[in-house]
Amino acid sequence: MRAVSAAVVALFPEQGAVLATAWTNKLFALSWLETSAGRYSGFDALADAALMFSANALHVTISAGQRRDLVAVFARLPLWPDALAALETMRRAGLRLAFLSNLSAPILATAMRENHLHELMEPPLSTDRVRAFKPSPQAYAMGMEHFALPREAIGFVAFGGWDALGASWFGYRTAWINRLRVAAEPLMPAPVRAGPDLGAALALAGV
């Protein structure tokens, strides 16, 4: 999200930091609201709605073009410095890898091409397939269906504590990459591995 925040600040130097935080919070809130209500607008539409709401709430004038440009940043997120080496290590160990994400299928496909991840990972699993955002069990179940494996045989790696919590509730062996060193979720089960980088993912995979 730091790349997204930087893009917001570049457009709105004075209010960008506050707007980026408000946008992120509203985006999560809307995704959880839609899933709990059995609705699904898709990531792009929801991100645009959350951004427009946040801008209006903060009295920031934002055009439709600026909203499109900011939502498009999600397709150009840079890799974390340790990501490529960790993914290569897991692939050499014979592991199959795929994103399971709330991002839309087109955004995920573009992001993978931009970072050459299509050479290491299988096609991404977007919640567009099941029309339910994480942490819905329907979203996590895509991993079992794609890999044709029981949940106990799948490792799930999450950036957000809420996502690690949802995946562990679903029954996946889970690693939480707590790069921002935020407080642990009080309901987080003890078996969840946590660490500040992808070392936790490699430990979960045993490689």
Q: What angle do CA 183, 204, 74 make, to 5 degrees?
A: 60
Q: Which amino acid is at 5?
A: S
Supply the pLDDT for residue 188. 84
CB distance 11 to 70 below 8 Å: yes
Neighbours of 3 (CB within 10 A): 11
Cα–Cα dist 28/34, whole Å: 10
Of 35-39, 46-50, 74-78, 182-186, the poorest mean pLDDT is in: 182-186
Domains and CATH numbers, the chain: 2-76 (1.10.150.240), 83-205 (3.40.50.1000)
Strand pairing category for 100-101 and 155-158? unpaired
pLDDT at res. 191: 77
Q: What whole-number distance in Å separates Cα of residue 103 and Cα of residue 124?
A: 10
Cα 20 to Cα 5: distance, rounded to the nearest angstrom = 5
Residue 109: which of 88, 124, 122, 87 has the closest Cα? Answer: 124
- Give mean pLDDT, residues 93-122: 95
